[in-house]
Amino acid sequence: MPSFLISGATGFIGRRLVADLAEAGHAVRRALRRHVQALRGIGDVVVGDVDGHTDWRTALQGIDVVVHLAARVHVLRETARDALAAFRETNVHGTERLARAAAAAGVGRLVLLSSAGVHGLAAHTSALTEAAPAAPHTAYAQSKWEAEQALRDAAVQTGLSTCVLRPPLVYGPQDPGNLLRLVRLVARGVPLPFASVRNRRSLVYVGNLSSAIVTCALHQAAGSRTYLVRDGQDVSTPELIELIATSLGRPRARLFAVPPALLQAGAAVFGQRTAMSALLGSLALDDSAIRAELGWKPRWSLEEGLRQTLDWYKSSLPGPRDGAR
Q: Are 74 and 274 in contact (CB under 8 A)?
A: yes
Number of H helices, E strands in the chain: 12, 9
CB 161 within 8 A of CB 108: yes
Beta bridge partners of 122: 282
φ/ψ of residue 44, rounded to 5: -130, 140
Per DSSP (E only), the strands in the chain are 4-7, 28-32, 43-46, 65-68, 109-113, 162-166, 169-171, 203-205, 225-228
140 is catalytic: yes
DSSP, collapsed to helix, strand or coil, labels residue 112 as strand
The one-letter amino acid at 210: S
CA distance 18 to 29: 9
Spatial neighbors of 63 by CB under 8 A, at least 6 apart, are 3, 4, 5, 29, 102, 105, 107
Give the CA distances from residue 63 to residues 43, 197, 265, in Å, rounded to whole numbers and listed in that order: 11, 47, 49
SS3 track for 170-210: EECCCCCCHHHHHHHHHHCCCCECECCCCCCECEEEHHHHH
Catalytic annotation, pick one of 140, 205, 227, 313: 140
Q: What is the torsional sign of CA 271, 274, 279, 280? A: positive
Residue 320: Cβ-neighbour burial (10 angstroms; 0-12, 13-18, 19+): exposed
Query: 268: helix, coil or strand?
Result: helix
Q: Which residues are catalytic?
A: 140
